[in-house]
Structure 1
Amino acid sequence: MGPGVEGPSYHELRFPLLEKTVKRTQTLKEKYIIAWKQYGCSPMADGWTDKKGRHLINFLVNSPEGTFFFESIDASSQAQVASLLTDLLLAKIEEIGKEYVVQIVTDNGANFKAVGKILEQRIPTFYWTPCAAHCLDLMLEDIGKLSVFRAKIDNARRVTTYMYKHVRLLNAMREKTDGNNLVRPGPTRIATSFLTLQSLYKHRDALRSLFFSEDWTASKSTNTNAGRLVANTVLFSPFWTGVEYCIKASHPLLIVLRIVDWDEKPAMSELAVAMNEAKRKSKKILKKSQIC
């Protein structure tokens, strides 16, 4: 167009694009609705709390056509009361079409368990199914509470937290690991704690060399209690032996978690076999330490 041409304003761009997106989404929804009526569907409720302390529920609908994001609901006032939460979810089920709903899938929170039972009583053809991924996460949480695991997870969290709070040390660590970062434990999923152990173990040689390097010895952090504690942890051979054991013990369940988290195809057909294999391997590994 040449110099001097004035581009469209923010509002001129925003509203036409928004309207176009809404129409495209509605067209997409109509395709899913046809599948819901033909095959039936499974609403899925995923509750979480945002930074403002609001309890939000993402409401999705699954069918052979795929998973469609239906709505996000602010359920802050209803989240702790099963009867109110039931009415809220029942309204969404009615909106979808009660006759097309086969089941509802939620996490294993006490409030959602209660909701599931109430909905099963109200709708005879309907049943509640707990989320497989959340079940596995709770299993890993229980394993992580065992003393042999808890100590290693706490030490790993201390190491990664310290690393990411000190920019110079973090940059030096990235140089040692060829630009790779460490996996840090997440606040909502205990599985990330075990992934952190895997990440630390993978880069154990680089981390140990870091605490022998001038980047560390010339640092003021060497004179702090927190710095010395982290260095001693990384350079302590029994720590890595324990981390290796924790990785072996958690690996079977992490494999199952990857299967159920995979979006490419339904995982239920593989879940029973994968869980039986995970139980067998985990029991064998845990028996070696006389934990079970």
Structure 2
Amino acid sequence: MCQFKDGCHFLSSKECSNEAHMSQHIYEYVGSCIQEVGPEHIVQIVTDNATNNMGAAKFKKVLDQAKQVTIFIYAHHKTLAMMRKFTNKRDIIRLGVTKFASVYLTLQKQLRHMFSSNEWEECKFSYTVKGGSSHTLVTGSTFWAGVTLCLKVFSPLVKVLL
């Protein structure tokens, strides 16, 4: 929908049942529509429930896991101090999905190092259920592959909407 002086107008639609619903395809089509009328006129973008869009629900698990680790680290002064030591005083911030994921990816090496260190082994929180779960997530490869995938899928859409 586009907002003009005389109200909102439907701009366009595209029948794509014969095409793969890949994020790049959606990105290019929506981007061209936005450029056609100007971003200041865009009020709403509506897409169908294509498999590609429904796949976003899979990213909820990765984001929930990232939040779980973040909440665990920030809940205890010892783990927070340890994280800041291993990341050179950098924090994990939660500004938005892509920013959150990109910060995690940037700190991947440092967080893995922290959860594999002697300091972590000596920390009383390493023996808690949440500590063990956080350790498993951060030192495993599945979580990081999910973070990378989140960035690849959501970054183009965020660029279109910003």
User: C-alpha root-mean-square deviation of aligned residues, in Å?
Assistant: 2.9
Quick one: which of 118, 123, 138 aligns to 1:219? 123
Q: Give the structure 1 partner of residue 109 of structure 2.
A: 205
Question: What is aligned with 2:157?
Answer: 253
- Does the C-alpha gap of structure 1 residues 182 and 144 become closer, same or farther in structure 2, counting only changes over 3 Å? farther
Q: Does 1:242 align with 2:146?
A: yes
The letter for the 1-side match of 2:134 is V
Structure with the bigger RCO (C-alpha within 8 Å, sep 6+) is: 2
Q: 1:177 to 1:169 in 2, by over 3 A?
A: same
Given the two structures, how large is their TM-score scaled by the length of structure 1? 0.37
Instruction: Return the letter of the residue paired with 1:195.
Output: K
In structure 2, the partner of 1:162 is 72
- 1:103 to partner: Cα distance: 6.8
Which 5+ residue runs of structure 2 have no aligned equivalent? Answer: 9-40, 47-51
Q: Which residue of 2 aligns with 1:182?
A: 92
Note the C-alpha offset of 1:218: 0.8
Q: Identity across aligned pairs (percent)?
A: 26
1:104 Cα deviation (Å)?
8.1
Q: Which consecutive unaligned segments of at least 5 residues does structure 1 have?
A: 1-41, 43-100, 106-128, 137-141, 187-191, 261-292
Q: CA 1:144–1:209 in structure 2 vs 1: closer, same or farther (change >3 Å)? A: farther
Q: How many residues align?
A: 124
Instruction: Render the CA deviation track for 1:22-58: whole Å, top value 9, x for unaligned.
Output: xxxxxxxxxxxxxxxxxxxx9xxxxxxxxxxxxxxxx
Structure that is richer in helix per residue = 2
> Displacement, 1:174?
1.4
Who wins on radius of gyration, i.e. which is larger? Answer: 1
Distance 1:103-1:235 versus aligned 2 partners, 3 A rule: farther
User: Residues 103 and 163 (structure 1 numbering): CA distance in 2 closer, same or farther, change over 3 Å?
Assistant: farther
1:147 Cα deviation after fit: 4.0
Structure-2-length-normalised TM-score: 0.64
In 1, Cα distance between the equivalents of 2:125 and 2:59?
28
1:148 CA drift (Å): 2.5
Q: Please tell me whether the aligned partners of residues 116 and 139 of structure 2 are also in contact (alpha carbons under 8 angstroms).
A: no
